[in-house]
Amino acid sequence: MNDQTSSDPVETGEVIEATPVSTASDSSGADTVLELENMIKNSVTTIDRNKAELKKHKEMLESALLNDEPYRLATEKTKEAAKEKGKAKMNVMQNPATRQIAEKVKDMTQENKDLLAAQSEYLREYARLSGTNEIEGEDGEVREIVYVAKLIKKARRNS
């Protein structure tokens, strides 16, 4: 069975010269890095293209919705209701007990973020030292350590 598609024809008689390398493992590692780099670059390009197309379609959808009179009226009612809800919330938040609870919620949320950041570092170090990506919790449940990586644009420095 032929793995090539009709859009990828092979010319007969074409000679491709291989570049000599010092060792097979160096070549394999370098080739893998280059392949990964190309895959990453291609995915960035595709994601950027999809984001632009998505933005265009969202704008078209929003335009269609705003041109519909019943939808536009419902949106205005929703905005008015949100304003009233905000005013009611402000009145409730004037109560010292409610403010104290809100502050406690804010503090606990920040504490959980800090704990999760610390746990991430502990897990990274545990996986490095133990050589495993699993850990059994106090409840006896085995959990897997996973990593999430993403690309962000590097800030340009003005020199």
In DSSP terms, which residues pair with 136 in a beta bridge? Answer: 142
In a shared domain, residues 28 and 90: yes
Q: Which residues form the domain of 140?
A: 96-152
What tens digit of pLDDT does each residue of 18-58 get? 444 444 456 788 889 899 899 999 999 999 999 999 999 99
Last residue in a domain, options 62, 94, 126 = 94
Do residue 57 and residue 104 come from a single domain? Answer: no
Regarding whether 85 and 111 lie in a shared domain, the answer is no
Backbone angles phi, psi at 85, to 5 degrees: -65, -40
Do 31 and 68 sit in the same domain of this protein? yes
Residue where the block lists tokens 């010292």: 96
Task: Say if residue 56 is in the same domain as residue 101.
Answer: no
Residue % of the chain over a pLDDT of 90: 69
The answer to the question of residue 6 being in a domain is no
Whether 80 maps to a domain, the answer reads: yes
Q: Are 145 and 135 in contact (CB under 8 A)?
A: yes
Say if CB 135 and CB 123 are below 8 A apart.
Answer: yes
Asked if residue 73 belongs to a domain, the reply is: yes
pLDDT, one tens digit for every residue, the chain (159 residues): 444 444 444 444 444 444 444 444 567 888 898 998 999 999 999 999 999 999 999 999 999 999 999 999 999 999 999 999 999 999 999 999 999 999 999 999 999 999 999 999 999 999 999 999 999 999 999 999 999 888 888 887 775
The pTM assigned to this predicted structure is: 0.56
Residue 4 domain-assigned? no
7 within some domain: no
